[in-house]
Chain A
């Protein structure tokens, strides 16, 4: 079940997203050639790229790093911490709506003495986001996210070790975030999503990530 989804996602990633998202750059060049307008002026007065509130927004891609927390009543602090990273695309459907597919990897280590328990969580996700607030340099987003997880875990005791069965789960929940423009089409992005799975009862996950978005 997961393989076709993964294939489609990777195909989407390598295809570079929808053509319409790339169109604006070519359109600008053609217009400049036909009208004989001068090349771009030598000065570069704009240090901070203003986020347009009109016109198509090009496809973005980027990565972020952060912590995925799994609520667990018997762990320290009531949660299991999974540090990790995500690579994502930011595909604007309109000025207000965007889709953010992502692929991530998170890891958790628990143990005492010579006993260790390591979990590797591979995450495939899609977040649908609405932009309620746009300022010249920032965008605030809210929406919903769906994640599919594949977790591999292994238990070790002294020289003995065993891999546990692979588990799959789906998570869903709200997501909020923001992006702050830097120069050259880059933005700092921050996201927080609170998702729920039902693999072992209703279990909450919180993920707080920070990263860079390129357009």
Chain B
């Protein structure tokens, strides 16, 4: 009897193996179907995106890092973050159809979307300035970056797990930095999950770039509260503005968080309260508010340049390139031994050339409680 059963199983295995021929690992370049924006009103299409830096789709490993997971509840002192070892690979299910990879599970879609969003910002920065925008030239081993899928991370301040968020963490250990991106579980969001919001992951990638381009050094150099808080706010503002540049949607965060005051196209100013916090808080937590003001100023500057160039996109690209050059020479932006928004704004003008007068008038109108420059 068992001989007959085993014969039946063996036959079936052969049949099954034939059905498995479709599964192959894939390396870049290849197209994959992901959720993409079609406009600035949170409208989407499921369309192919050309992935360029992934060496293994099955392992989700590429020159920008590897998407991994762990069931462990992480915290700032987790050994797994210090060692960078012990993470599990992700489980990808996909099929090739007409030259395009199609994810077959929500998880596979999410994972490949996260990598694609990070890559999109990488390529934008690299295209903006091939000399200074390529993060793989800044980071020693960019491929060792770990991108955590649905991480469980305990916040040290609230003692609860992060949800509805994404983040970049430069984890300092033994004189070196391990780079981590985190996506967290979705909890209260009823719209586009943050991990599928291309600009949100792009925003996080700019934190990564900024850390290695100028902030890591600058935060060790300018340690007073005002400089530190200013740079934290600047980091958020830069991340918002560059993220906007990849899709030209100034309301991108509202597609996930409709009530957030993060619409770049809405002009904002530094209020007296916000300025005071930036100048004196030793436990500053309003960096997103400060960043939103900076991002809205950059949006207005980009629009103004765009009018001169008769192309909004060209105006923002010109402004973004100037900001990147400012990052490269960021140590020259201090004034009186401190980093302040007026000093950084003046610094920015140096890289805008013929458009500096337009930017100056915008800064004078929007620096608010800081006064003019």
Which of A157, A169, A170 has the most chain B CB atoms closer than 10 A to its own CB?
Answer: A157
Q: Which B25-75 residues have C-beta < 8 A from chain A?
A: 33, 35, 38, 42-46, 58, 69
- Within 8 Å by CB of A128, from B5, B43, B69, B256, lies B5
Q: Whose C-beta in chain B lies nearest to the C-beta of A71?
A: B91
| A73-B91 contact given A113-B256, A158-B192, A200-B23, CB 8 Å threshold | yes
Q: Cβ of B44: which chain A residues have Cβ within 8 Å of it? A: 157-160
In the bound complex, residues from chain A placing their C-beta under 8 Å from that of B9 are: 144, 172-174
Per the bound structure, the CA–CA distance linking A80 and B108 in Å amounts to: 12
Size of the B side of the interface (Cβ < 8 Å), in residues, is 53
Q: Which of A6-14, A34-42, A53-61, A191-199 contacts B (4 or more CB under 8 A)?
A: A191-199
Task: Note all chain A residues with C-beta closer than 8 A to B93.
Answer: 72, 200, 203
Within 8 A of B (CB), among A90-115: 96, 110-115
Q: C-beta contact mask, A135-175 vs B, less than 8 Å → 1, else 0?
A: 00000000110100001010101111110110111111110
Q: How far is the CB of B121 from chain A (nearest CB, A)?
A: 20
- Cross-chain contact B23 with A111 (CB below 8 angstroms): no
Residues of A within 8 A of B (CB): 72-75, 80, 96, 110-117, 119, 128, 130, 143-144, 146, 151, 153, 155, 157-162, 164-165, 167-174, 196-203
Contact (Cβ within 8 A) A75 B105? yes
Q: Is B186 an interface residue (CB 8 A)?
A: yes
B290, chain A: closest CB distance, angstroms = 28
- A80-B105, A162-B33 known; A198+B95 contact, CB < 8 A: no
Query: What 18 new A-B contacts, CB under 8 Å, besides A110-B107, A128-B4?
Result: A74-B69, A74-B111, A75-B107, A96-B1, A110-B106, A112-B106, A113-B196, A114-B190, A143-B5, A155-B33, A160-B43, A160-B46, A165-B97, A169-B16, A173-B9, A197-B19, A198-B17, A199-B19
Q: Report the minimal beta-carbon distance from B149 to chain A, rounded to whole angstroms.
A: 6
A72 touching B91, Cβ below 8 Å: yes
A112 touches B12 (CB 8 A): no
Tell me the chain B residues, 98-149 only, with Cβ under 8 Å from chain A.
102-109, 111, 149
Shortest distance between the CB of B182 and any CB in chain A (Å) = 15
Are B23 and A155 closer than 8 Å at their CB atoms?
no
Q: Taking the nearest CB of chain B, how far is it from the CB of A148, in angstroms?
A: 8
Min CB gap B73→A, angstroms: 15
Chain B contact residues, majority secondary structure = mixed
Q: Cβ of B12 and Cβ of A146 under 8 Å apart?
A: yes
List, in ascending order, chain A residues with CB within 8 A of B105's CB: 72, 74-75, 80, 110, 117, 119
B22: chain A residues within 8 A (beta carbon): 167, 199
- B106 touching A199 by the CB < 8 A rule? no
Using A110-B106, A110-B107, A174-B9 as known contacts, say yes or no to A115 and B35 having CB atoms under 8 A apart: yes
Question: Do B102 and A113 have beta carbons less than 8 Å apart?
Answer: no
Residues on B with C-beta less than 8 A from A114 are 190-192
Question: What number of A-B contacts does a CB cutoff of 8 Å give?
Answer: 148
A112-B189, A197-B16 known; A160 vs B45 contact (CB < 8 Å): yes
Are the C-beta atoms of B102 and A170 separated by less than 8 Å? no
Residues on A with beta carbons closer than 8 Å to the beta carbon of B35: 115, 155, 157, 160
Q: Measured between C-beta atoms, what is the minimum distance from B254 to chain A in Å? A: 13
A-B contact pairs, 13 of them (CB 8 A): A74-B108, A110-B107, A117-B106, A117-B109, A144-B12, A161-B46, A165-B95, A172-B9, A174-B9, A198-B23, A199-B19, A200-B94, A202-B20
Q: Which B183-198 residues have a C-beta within 8 angstroms of A?
A: 186, 189-193, 196
Chain A residues positioned under 8 Å from B104 (CB to CB): 119, 151, 153, 164, 167, 200
Is B149 a contact of A74 with CB atoms below 8 Å?
yes
Q: Which 10 A-B pairs give the minimum distances between C-beta atoms?
A: A198-B20, A172-B12, A73-B91, A110-B106, A74-B107, A117-B106, A112-B186, A165-B97, A162-B46, A170-B19
Chain A residues positioned under 8 Å from B196 (CB to CB): 113, 115, 157
Q: Chain B residues near A110 (CB, 8 Å)?
A: 105-107
CB <8 Å contact, B8 and A144: yes
Q: Are B192 and A115 in contact (CB under 8 A)?
A: yes
Closest to B197 in A: A113
Q: Please tell me if B369 contacts chain A, counting CB pairs below 8 Å.
A: no
